[in-house]
Each structure stands twice: as C-alpha cells, then as structure tokens.
Amino acid sequence: MRRIKLVVSYDGTAYCGWQLPNGVTIEEVLNKALSSLLKEDIQVIGASRTDSGVHAMGNVAVFDTESRIPGDKICFALNQRLPDDVRIQASEEVPLTFHPRKVNCVKTYEYKILNRKIDMPLQRLYSHFCYFNLDLEKMQKAASYLIGEHDFKSFCTVRTQAEETVRTIYSLTVTKADDLITIRISGSGFLYNMVRIIAGTLVKIGMGVYPPEKMEELLNTHPGSASVMGLLFDTEHRVQLVMDRDVYDAEYFCCHPCDNHGSLKIKTSDLLTKFLPHVGHEPIVVDLPRE
C-alpha cells in the first residue's frame, strides 16, 4: 500500500464545497477520477474541507493505492480525467503515516476587501466589495488586541462543536495596496466561523460603526457575541492555509455574493442585531430579539 499526496487547485463556483452532503463536491470528482484511473476504490482525504463556492490554488489531499504508477506522474494522468475547473498541480508519494489534517501546522487566512466607490467586475470572485471608506489605522489597532493566546468563545457561531475555545493568534495584519485591503491572520487553529467573524468585525470598526476598543471588549463577553458583526463575511473572502510551515500551502477564494443588490445578509436566528449597509445609504443597525 502506498500513500500519494496531491496539491489540488480548483474553481469552486460549480461545486458544493469539498465535502458537503448535497450536490457535486471536489472530493467526489477526485474520487471518481482516481478510481477510474487506478481501477480501485479511492477515497481522498483533504487538508481543508472548504465551503461551497470556495476556490483553491493548492489544497492538499492524500489517498492510498496499490498502483505502481510513480507518485510524481499521477498528476499528469489524473488531469486528463478531470474537468477543466479542477487541476492537480503536483503529486508525490509520502509516508503512510502522513495525514494532511494532523501535521503540525500554522494556518493563515487572508481576506481581500475591494474598498472603492464602484465595484470592479474582475475582482468580484476574489474579494469583498465595500463601498464605505475604511479607516486602516483603526482596523490595525483593533487587530492588535487579538494577538496572543485568548479564549475566542465570543468569536464563533453557536453551531461550533469545539469543547476547547482557546486559540493562539501569531499575527494579524491589515494592509492596503491601491484599493485592495488585505486582512491576514495566522494562528494555531480557528473555531467555526472564527476568522470570518474577526474579519467582519474589523470591517465594521473600519467603517466607524464601533471603536477599535470594541475588539478587546468582545474577548471578554458571552459566547457568540462577536457574530453580531462578523457573519457579514458569509460573503466573499480570500484565504491562504499554510500547513507544517514549509511542507505545503493552499489558498482559497470564497465567492458568495449576498444578493443582487450588494447588501450584506445576516441570519437573524444567529444574531442579536442585523446590519445592512446598502450602497448609497448610511449604515443601519436594527435590534432583533434574542431567540
């Protein structure tokens, strides 16, 4: 038995994530193509189970096989059987003990925010569009409160199954190049929706809805409180995942426009407030009852 590692890139527009129960998934496409190529039942294991609509430049997966095809040649043979929106960038044989989800790793996420008055169509799949001017200094100050080891129970949704909510943030930067703002966060691991909640909170602070000190306050509040702001990022984001430092990395790009009018939708069942910034209007905050 041999274990083969794949570096997988894909445009996730047509897929229901890596491993979701409904619809066509990346995992399903890879399993079918590999099983056909190798004439055996193949089940891949992915390093990151990306959500519906997420793109990847280098997600990592492994599978076991009895095939004698050289590991570095499998990518070429497999690509001939894959659809145009899925490609294997590299393949190699690794030890049977190698597991993409259990290696010692640092995970890094990047959120791209296009901050200008008019959206750019070529950026729409790879960045979140924000009409309102964002104050970079306020966002940077707010980000500094999260560096280090903290209990992030207030920065995850109520659906999280994690018993331990303490995580370590190694770095959290907010930078800007032309109209594009990048929020980059590296840590030991993240809770369910934790990173998008942090990114959404930073955007709200950049818009002036909350002061930078709000971030520190949220660290000491009840579970899920930060999701009032952060689930804004059920929308577009760009993510980079770095595993085992120099072993491999993967970049993901989420492209979920909220609706046809550019508003940011937040599920009322998850939140106490609903924030709807519409283009051409002032931000509105609507208080909702606790359910």
Q: What is the pLDDT of residue 26?
A: 93
Q: What is the pLDDT of residue 160?
A: 56
Q: What is the mean pLDDT of residues 25-46?
A: 95
* β-pair type (107-115, 128-130): parallel
User: What's the token pair of residue 72?
Assistant: 């570095």
User: What's the token pair of residue 203?
Assistant: 């955007």
Are the C-beta atoms of residues 211 and 135 closer than 8 Å to each other?
A: no
Active site residue 51: yes
User: What's the token pair of residue 201?
Assistant: 């909170």
Q: Could you report the per-residue pLDDT of 75-95, keeping only the tens digit for each? A: 999 999 999 999 999 999 999
List all residues 6 or more positions away from 105 whose beta carbon is below 8 Å from its beta carbon.
242, 243, 244, 245, 247
Cα distance between residue 258 and residue 239, in whole Å: 18
Confidence of residue 23 (pLDDT cuts 50, 70, 90): confident
Q: What is the pLDDT of residue 233?
A: 44
Q: What is the pLDDT of residue 162?
A: 65
Token match 């729409």: residue?
124
Q: Could you report the per-residue pLDDT of 185-200, keeping only the tens digit for each? A: 888 777 877 887 898 8
Q: Strands (DSSP E) along the chain, which ranges?
A: 2-10, 45-46, 54-65, 86-94, 107-115, 128-130, 148-151, 166-177, 180-187, 237-243, 248-254, 273-275, 285-287
Q: Which of 41, 51, 179, 249 is catalytic?
A: 51
Q: How far apart are the first and last CA of the chain?
A: 52
Whole-model pTM?
0.68
Which H or E run includes 114? strand 107-115
Q: Looking at the chain, how many residues does it have? A: 291
Average pLDDT across the chain, whole number: 75
Which parts of the chain fold into alpha helices (H)? 26-38, 74-79, 136-144, 194-206, 213-219, 227-230
Are the C-beta atoms of residues 219 and 149 closer than 8 Å to each other?
A: no
Between the alpha carbon of residue 69 and those of residues 27, 49, 92, 98, the distances in Å are 21, 27, 11, 19
Q: Please indicate whether residue 276 or residue 174 has the higher confidence score (pLDDT).
A: 174
